[in-house]
A and B are shown apart, each in its own frame.
Chain A
Amino acid sequence: MVSRIGVVTFPGSLDDVDALRAIRLSGGKPVPLWHASDSLDDVNAVILPGGFSYGDYLRCGAIARFAPIMTELIKEVEAGLPVLGICNGFQILCEAHLLPGALIRNDVRTFVCTDQDLRVESIDTPWTCDFQPGQQINIVLKNGEGGFVADADTLRRLEGEGQVTFRYINGNPNGSFHDIAGICNERGNVVGLMPHPEHNVDPLTGPTTDGTLVFRSVVGFLAAKV
């Protein structure tokens, strides 16, 4: 059975279509989901895509976090549903307290758009299990508010429990504490990252196809589970 992977579109989402395409190219069945729906349409995993939900009003992700579909999502996360938040999706997951910490304006005070080197720090998640431990990859990063912050206790816990999933290497682009580019929750089913793997799935439009492994990971994970 082909895994059904949902992508939620909020008002102001930008990268939902790219995420749907990345799922299709990686062997999954993409399922568009709408923020105002209260059903997840029986999908096996969910991606919260990048963009500027609700125009980034108030704080990035702060309003999207209370969208009707989020109630269902939060319930399913507790049951183990794999969820990936990319960029604005990561911000939404932090605002929803599904992931610890917060994302603030880049310390460089500019929007950053770059092909970013990363190291995969943990492969113990549904979204990273196809990578090699410590694998170095290059994925596009594009955001204005990507500085990951958390208090000292949270950082200690993230590092100690292997919850840092991706780390910036060869330079920290936005002032993120501990060069953190992506994290997961304690259980590992929820992952958030600032760089955009869905843009690195086709040699025509990116310098690498390293992003494909994120989507292949979850497709493989779900296939093994059935």
Chain B
Amino acid sequence: MARVVVNVMPKPEILDPQGKAVTGALTRLGFAGVSVRQGKRFELEVDGELSEERLAEVHRAAETLLANPVIETFEVRVEAGRGDQQVAVETAEAAPAGAH
């Protein structure tokens, strides 16, 4: 099992009204001098060993469905090992439990 992340962003020349709205809200909150562009992050849990072919398949999936290459760019990244992630997940889950 491996985790592959696909990050999708609107192309630089494409207007990003969501990013603009977020930028506006941040400015109103006093976070001046930041400009936001909003994208999407997909986490794919891939069964079996992550071979070159499997990775190429994820790339094709990103190109076919996850991103629209007419208006978006995407990058495919392989996440760090399984052990690290379990630690991260447990930490995240522990926080709300401790707050009770």
Q: Which residues of A pack against B, CB within 8 Å?
A: 58-59, 62-63, 66, 94-95, 100-102, 104-107, 109, 147, 149-150, 175
Number of A-B contacts (CB under 8 A): 34
B88 contacts the other chain (CB 8 A)? no
Q: Which residues of B pack against A, CB within 8 Å?
A: 10, 14-15, 17-18, 20-21, 65-66, 68, 70-71
Q: Are A62 and B15 in contact (CB under 8 A)?
A: no
Main secondary structure of the interface of A (DSSP, over half): loop
Choose among B65, B66, B68 the residue that contacts A102 (Cβ–Cβ < 8 A).
B68
A104–B37 alpha-carbon span in the complex (Å): 14
Supply 14 further A-B pairs (C-beta < 8 A) apart from A62-B68, A107-B15, A149-B71.
A58-B66, A94-B70, A101-B70, A102-B68, A104-B14, A104-B17, A104-B71, A105-B17, A105-B18, A109-B17, A109-B20, A149-B70, A150-B70, A175-B15
Q: Are A104 and B15 in contact (CB under 8 A)?
A: yes
Residues of B within 8 A of A107 (CB): 15, 17
Q: Are A62 and B71 in contact (CB under 8 A)?
A: no
Residues of B within 8 A of A175 (CB): 15
17 sampled A-B residue pairs with Cβ under 8 A: A58-B66, A59-B68, A66-B65, A95-B68, A100-B70, A102-B71, A104-B10, A104-B17, A104-B71, A105-B18, A106-B17, A107-B17, A109-B17, A147-B15, A149-B14, A149-B70, A150-B70
